[in-house]
Structure 1
């Protein structure tokens, strides 16, 4: 298996609930290295740009409003099989359908406020990471 990078965002509901430390610990305990991380607040425009792929979907406006409603924590993560392993760690988008013990099953309230974002492919992870971080922000040798 190849070492991959993926992007995650601890969403505004995660930050509001005071779960940054708990969720970050679970991510690290699952073997992910954090290569870049910051606390930021998206504007409606920056959220709209990030989620532009969903622009025609009925939930787009609500998603952008939610993502700009408070602080969030984007992170670039790395490990072997990062994308698939991270998707398994966070669980299904709908927390009611997420496997027990996943981040969303344990902490999320709804499909709309589901605590955490995870890239769905290596390619999207690269595109999404570049939305938040310059290559100079990435600290690859942080063993």
Structure 2
């Protein structure tokens, strides 16, 4: 079994899509190992997205991610990282396939409802950022 990290972004929380997205997670066969509802500080957002620090969108992304509550989840299933990325769709909801989470719930390329780890290695780092080992089932 493989693990991945996902995060429901402030727009998904604000627009009351938590339940819909959690249902989709379960429908897709993921086991929820851990889940937290919290608000990131700007410093936490900058640390989490440090890999993008040199990118032009970094500051706006961090400000946005600290703008409201998020839901952080550690998930598990076979081929978890790739499967979740298929489920969420393209970063830009205009390019996301019909039926994907971003096609259904995203507002824009930045406010695109969800984050998903892009590799197993990053998933493990991202899970560790939000969860202590004993917090995962």
TM-score range, shorter chain: over 0.9
Unaligned runs of 5+ in 1: none
Structure 1 residue 9: Cα displacement: 0.3
Matches of 2:67 and 2:27, distance apart in 1: 29
The equivalent residue for 1:29 is 27
The equivalent residue for 1:57 is 55
What is the aligned length?
Answer: 137
The equivalent residue for 1:19 is 17
Unaligned runs of 5+ in 2: none
Out of 7, 10, 32, the residue aligned to residue 9 of structure 1 is: 7
TM-score normalised according to structure 2 size:
0.99
Matches of 2:101 and 2:25, distance apart in 1: 9
Structure 1 residue 103: Cα displacement: 0.2
Structure 1 residue 124: Cα displacement: 0.3
Structure 1 residue 109: Cα displacement: 1.1
TM-score normalised according to structure 1 size:
0.95
The secondary structure found in structure 1 opposite 2:94 is: helix
The equivalent residue for 2:72 is 74
The equivalent residue for 1:131 is 129
The equivalent residue for 1:118 is 116
The secondary structure found in structure 2 opposite 1:109 is: coil
The secondary structure found in structure 2 opposite 1:94 is: coil
The secondary structure found in structure 2 opposite 1:96 is: coil
User: Does residue 1:48 correspond to 2:46, yes or no?
Assistant: yes
Matches of 1:95 and 1:137, distance apart in 2: 33
Q: Deviations over 1:75-100 (max 9, x none)?
A: 00000000110000000000000000
Matches of 1:124 and 1:18, distance apart in 2: 28
Q: Give the root-mean-square deviation of aligned CA atoms.
A: 0.4
